[in-house]
Amino acid sequence: MSKGRILIVDELHPVFKERAIAMGYEVDDLPLYTREQTLAAISNYQGIAVRTKFRIDQELMAAAPSLKFIARAGAGLDNIDVDYARSRNIQLLNAPEGNMDAVGEHAVGMLLSLMNNFRNADHEVRNGTWDREGNRGYELKGKTVGIIGYGFMGKSFAKKLSGFEVNVIAYDKYKTGFSDAYAKEVSMEEIVKHSDALSLHIPLTSETRQMVNEEYFFHFRKPIFFINTARGEIVQTQAVLQAIQMGKILAAGLDVLEVEKFPALQQSPWFNDLKSSGKLILTPHVGGWTFESYRKISEVLSDKLIAVI
């Protein structure tokens, strides 16, 4: 007897479908489905699996009277109307455990690249300039790295830093007593006072949207290296550019932006400044998207599907 039907509307590793079928589900794997096609078909399903293709909002859930769960192949739930889903007792499954190592490694890679001028040095050598002094870097050893948000991603980043002999401090508004072998829990006041580098690992919510602005950077006592592998809309890009110009930020690594993908990104008023700055490393929201995490995310989701049963 079938436990229900699941509609996959995005590219997921096949292991999710295989395990769901083994549990007794019927699975329709239709990653090319549009939002319109999903709206037309969703009434026939008890579960839907998605990455980031479109928002699972009230309209879509209202069209699915039998919907029991939403499986989000990734960490964040910001493309889901969480409040409405909970009002309907629709279970929300996500998989931060699946890409936390990818994000932690990506953040470390960005930090090392920024501190050692890899981007500029590579560009100069390719263009005939051999400037050792101008590309002299900083060592991580002995520095204080501040982490905002100490969930799966924040802890993964801290753990990856543990071999660099750094002082890792972390602030999380919604947690207490989380000091461990990798980071010390501190107040936000201590973060802004002591940090040599700052990395964001918080979800996008109504509270965190545009949280990092000019005033936010103003409070830091020392110039910092700044990393964002969380969500772009948490940070005002113009504030980052201004902080770089003022010397508040030495260099920044942005895997996420408040506007992503072209042509919308190119049309943003700050894009040309972003593109021309030699103090930035930009990556296209791939911090949690490795060949390994692609499979691990689906494995985690399928494990959590057992709990739904």
The pLDDT assigned to 307 comes to: 82
Same domain, 263 and 146: yes
Please tell me whether residues 123 and 149 are part of one structural domain. yes
3-state secondary structure at position 292: helix
Compute the distance between CA of residue 174 and CA of residue 136 in angstroms, rounded to an integer: 39
**Statement: residue 267 has pLDDT above 80:** yes
Catalytic residue among 231, 233, 292, 299: 231
At residue 71 the predicted structure's pLDDT band, cuts being 50, 70 and 90, is very high
User: Are 237 and 104 found together in one domain?
Assistant: yes
Single-letter code of the amino acid located at 262: F
Q: What is the pLDDT of residue 308?
A: 80
pLDDT at 285 over 90: yes
Mark whether 127 and 221 lie in a shared domain: yes
Tell me the pLDDT of the chain averaged across its residues. 96
**Same domain, residue pair 90 and 118:** no
Considering 94, 123, 138, which residue would you say is the last residue of a domain? 94
Domain-located, residue 87: yes
In a domain, 301, yes or no: no
- The answer on 141 and 19 residing in a single domain is no
Query: pLDDT at position 137, please?
Result: 97
**Domain assignment of residue 288, yes or no:** no
Over range 200-205, report the average pLDDT: 96
Q: In what order do the strands lie in the sheet with 249-254?
A: 184-185, 167-171, 144-148, 197-200, 224-228, 249-254, 280-282
Q: Name the pLDDT band for 184 (thresholds 50, 70, 90).
A: very high
Q: What is the CATH number of the domain that holds 213?
A: 3.40.50.720
Q: In the listed set 46, 67, 94, which residue is the last one of a domain according to the structure? A: 94
Q: Which residue has the tokens 């050692």?
A: 116
| Mean pLDDT on 32-60 | 95
- Asked if residue 195 belongs to a domain, the reply is yes
Q: Which two tokens stand for residue 239?
A: 């504030």
What is d(CA 284, CA 93) in angstroms, rounded to the nearest whole number?
A: 25
Q: Which of 285, 292, 295, 299 is catalytic?
A: 285
**Annotation says 285 is catalytic:** yes
* Residue 304 lies inside a defined structural domain of this protein: no
Report residue 126 as tokens: 């390719």
- Residue 291, domain member (yes or no): no
One domain, residues 127 and 85: no
**Are 87 and 105 within one domain?**
no
* pLDDT greater than 80 at residue 1: no
pLDDT band at 39 (very low <50, low <70, confident <90, very high): very high
Residue that finishes a domain, picked among 45, 66, 94: 94
Closest CA to 137 of 164, 119, 158: 119
Domain assignment of residue 224, given as a range: 98-282
pLDDT, residue 309, reads 57
Q: Are residues 28 and 147 in the same domain?
A: no
Q: Which of 194, 274, 202 is nearest to 242 (CA)?
A: 274
Query: Domain tally for the chain?
Result: 2
Do 144 and 109 fall into the same domain? yes
Co-location of 73 and 196 in the same domain = no
> Does 263 reside within a domain?
yes
Which of the residues 88, 260, 295, 299 is marked catalytic? 260
Q: What is the pLDDT of residues 119-137, one digit of tens each?
A: 999 999 999 999 999 999 9
- Mean pLDDT over 282-288 rounds to 97
- The string of pLDDT tens digits covering residues 79-106 is 999 999 999 999 999 999 999 999 999 9
Query: Do 21 and 146 belong together in one domain?
Result: no
